Structure 1
Amino acid sequence: MTHTQSSPITYFGHTHIEHTLSVAWDPFTNPEGETFELFAREIIPPGGENYPYLVYLQGGPGFPSPRPTSVGSWMGPALKKYRLLLLDQRGTGRSARIDAVSERISTQQLALLRQEYIVEDAEALRRALGVEKWSLFGQSFGGFCITSYLSAHPESVDTAYLTGGLPTLDKTADDLYRSTYAKLEYRHEQFLKQVPFADARIREIAHHLDNAEELLPTGERLSSRRFRTIGINLGRGTGFLNLAYLLEDPFRIVRGEKRMKTDVLHALGAQLSFGAAPLYAAIHESIYGGVGMPAADLGQRSATRWAADRMREEVEGFAENADPVRADKFYLTGEHIYPWQFDEDPALRPFKDAAMGLAEHHWQRSPYDAAGLAQAPTVAAAVYLDDIFVPFEESMATARTYRDLRLHVTNYFQHDGIGHDGAGIFELLDAAIADH
């Protein structure tokens, strides 16, 4: 493996160094095979050249690490005691981003992008840097990566911070999505209480889209089922207000015909397109593959088979073909990914064949191991009570498998809490770790 680093350069008073490392695409079964260049950006505060490392693992999956223009949010307090390593996860950013070029995308390639592979990339970088132990910070899917990291390599980690990212260890994809729909139903009902006009407006828009052609700025027709995926906002801190503003006045009359306003269509297009991060959709369910399965069943019944799409039919209000006019309950959907999105979203069409194959892929392992977590160092985690992405009950069950996990449980924030008070949350978690 070849490790290179750039000459130091100073931005916003901090030293930046860029690291690249040649790593194997398949470190488990073909470590001498095809490689790619892994990228990480190191940020060193003034006088912090000898600080320990804190590796940031981005939420997602399928997003690169942040490109900071300041040391705001959680980075501020973190840089008081750490050097930061912002790692672009494989397939994203400068770590061989997988772009929308159909001939380059295969099911086999997508299957190599899960959390356990990201862990092996990080381990390779740790060894290349000559670091005995380092610390980890992960938001959402980044916490899934940390749980996988501590399952496989607890000896490599000094401590870890997780926010909204304690994954289930013992529920299959089917059961996990049943939980997320239940959480989403609760949040949706809370939203309707706070924004009384929303139910009628959601139904009106969906009915309109079933009976009229409305085109998004990218040229494709907007369907009612795709419109409903804006419910992902219900899991964000400002989501209720953002949805209320989007829904408050969506129509105009053009030559006697009701049409959606162009600014509303523009806003919807920006939210609904996966152009910026198509991998989020393409590999989303794969992160649950093999989880909660008996060892004897791995490789036999471990395919996710579009679990979110199948489970929606079990929960009243979420059925794909629910009638927006007559259905007793008619809900928006959340972070769930559906197979038809690979036809309707132009950004996802090149990924369709590979994603369909991935849904049928039989996983040979779970990315987690409770025995490894029982040997993990001290960890602190923020868990959000009403989280629609990572259900509270599953997070609490996983917390009990850790050797020493310090919990901060709150309903003050939603899943994106670090986007609202990253510094405050990091400081709370850091104080919890120090208190031993």
Structure 2
Amino acid sequence: MIRRFGHDIIEHTLQLPWDHFAPVPGETIEVFAREIRPSGGAELPVVVYLQGGPGFPAPRPTAADGVIGEFLKTHRVLLLDQRGTGRSNRIDQHSKVSSRQLALLRADQICADAEAFREHLGLKRWDLFGQSFGGFCITAYLSRYPSSVGRAFLTGGLPAVGVDIDDIYRATYRALQRRHDAFYHQIPFAESRIREVCAHLDTTAEVLPTGERLTSRRFRTIGIELGRGHGFDTLAYLLEEPFRTLRGEKRLRSDFLAEVGRRVSFADGPLYATIHESIYAYPGAATRWSAHRIREEIPGFEEDAAPQTADKFYLTGEHIFPWQFDEDPALHGLSEAAKELAERTDFPELYSPSGLASAETVAAAAIYADDIFVPFGYSRNTAEMYRDLRPYLTNLFQHDGIRHDGAGIVRTLKGLIDDH
């Protein structure tokens, strides 16, 4: 135990089965969690922080503020590094991992890992907080272990339940289209500049600091920023002056390429790209690169849309494409396993509407009206499946609302639970 920013920090590590439900002898994974305990708070209830993603570790706090600070007023906080991330056997391009193992990184196994920690800590029940994919994990948790959870707090994380993955991506593209049109309206020069950059990349070899050529289709993935609170402004600043003239030739500036390289690389979270679509998989159906297929249905998102002549021309958002595993050096080593994962059909069901309806957990959820990652309509439908979920419906934030007012959002959710 160490003491930092006025609180005690305790580390927990467990050796757990890769597959909790059909374990293979000797096949284990090390899972790590960091507990933050307020002074004199050894008997406080525990809230588990389930990180968004998938494929990213829990936060590494340096102060007791934001979401974590608000919970530390009433709880001990357990920051779980989800399997394959952080100190829980992080998986990257150098890892020897099979598609079968990648399929075991979904919410059902994460929840089973968490249950092992609950038992390890000797707790009958605990509370859960989930941002984005963390909320998906909470919905899976209550479907499987409803008696283990007292209260649940979700932010931007109510998944579509019983919905085909292709329909989910149709909804995300349509939400992004509306957001994109608003971006073009508010930042008038953005559309012509995006078209200009993409046309340039189709005819001129521009190389990122990591050594590979930047293609227009990869550049278009920076549209994920449109789902963040300051996304319009950060993209506008990026696009305001991307070119310079070098020996009489128009070229992209080195600082522009460096910033775009940071945005399009999965070096900090290769697992996110690798398993992203599998979180929507259901029994008997392969995902088959759904986002890649469905983009062709929505005008402006087509991969081969001509930047100079297409009637509509958009960036893409939280969508993963098979060619990224060829173009991004951080994904090369995971390419074969990812492509096999996209063809797997042996996924278990993650969510149980009957289980959600019978769980005695009291839940509250921030549901963002303009969320381009987790469609509003599907979130409302899932909220109604819970036996007791109090929604906080708002258009004040984008998907990353907790980055802008995490403490305030958690206070609102606490109030919804405590005031009933």
Q: Report if TM-score (shorter chain) is over 0.5.
A: yes
The C-alpha deviation readout for 1:231-272, integer Å capped at 9, x for no partner, is: 000000000000000000000000110000000000001111
**Aligned mates of 2:38, 2:22 — CA distance in 1:** 39
The answer to whether structure 1 residue 97 and structure 2 residue 90 are counterparts is yes
Post-superposition offset of 1:32: 4.5
Partner of residue 277, structure 2: 285
Partner of 2:257: 265
Q: Which residue of 2 aligns with 1:303?
A: 286
User: Which amino acid letter does the alignment assign opposite residue 422 of structure 1?
Assistant: G
Q: Which residue of 2 aligns with 1:17?
A: 10
Contact 2:49 2:77 in 1 (8 A): yes
**Equivalent in 362, 368, 371 of residue 351 of structure 2:** 368
CA distance in 2, matches of 1:145, 1:225: 31
* Number of the residue aligned with 2:188: 196
Between the aligned partners of 2:271 and 2:92, the Cα distance in structure 1 is: 9
Q: Which runs of 5+ in 1 are unaligned?
A: 1-7, 291-297
Aligned to 1:424: 408
Of 391, 408, 425, which aligns to 2:375? 391
**Hey, what does 1:407 align to over in structure 2?**
391
Q: How does 1:330-345 map to 2 (within 5 A)?
A: 330-345=313-328
1:348 alignment partner, SS class: helix
Residue 47 (structure 1) shift: 1.7
TM-score by length of 1: 0.95
**Deviation by residue 1:324-354 (Cα, 9 ceiling, x = unmatched):** 0110000000010000000000000100000
Question: How far off is 1:109 after superposition?
Answer: 1.3
Residue 170 of structure 1 deviates from its aligned partner by: 1.7
Instruction: Look up the match of 2:51.
Output: 58
Q: CA deviation at 1:365?
A: 2.0
Partners in 2 of 1:77 and 1:61 — Cα distance?
A: 24
Partner of 1:347, secondary structure, is helix
CA contact (8 A) 2:92 2:334 kept: no
Choose the corresponding residue for 1:248, options 229, 232, 240. Answer: 240
Partner Cα separation in structure 1 for residue 23 and residue 9 of structure 2:
33
> Does residue 1:351 correspond to 2:344, yes or no?
no
- Distance (whole Å) between structure 2 residues aligned to residue 234 and residue 324 of structure 1: 19
**Cα distance, 1:76 vs structure 2:** 1.6
Superposed structure 1 runs of 4+ greater than 4 Å apart: none
Secondary structure at the aligned position of 1:23 is classed as: strand
Partner of 2:71: 78
1:49 Cα shift? 1.2
Distance 1:267 1:364 in 2: 37
Q: CA deviation at 1:75?
A: 1.4
TM-score when scaled to structure 2? 0.99
Please say if 1:228 is aligned against 2:220: yes
Distance 2:277 2:68 in 1: 30
Which blocks of at least 5 consecutive residues in structure 2 are unaligned?
Answer: none
Q: Provide the rounded CA distance (Å) in 1 between the counterparts of 2:8 and 2:35.
A: 8
User: Structure 1 residue 180 and structure 2 residue 172: aligned?
Assistant: yes
Q: For 2:110 and 2:69, how far apart are their aligned partners in 1?
A: 25
Matches of 1:387 and 1:307 in 2, distance apart?
19
* Code of the aligned partner of 1:153: Y
Secondary structure at 2:47 match in 1? strand
Task: Give, as a single letter, the amino acid of the residue that structure 1 aligns with 2:39.
Answer: P
Equivalents in 1 of 2:349, 2:331: separation in Å?
A: 27
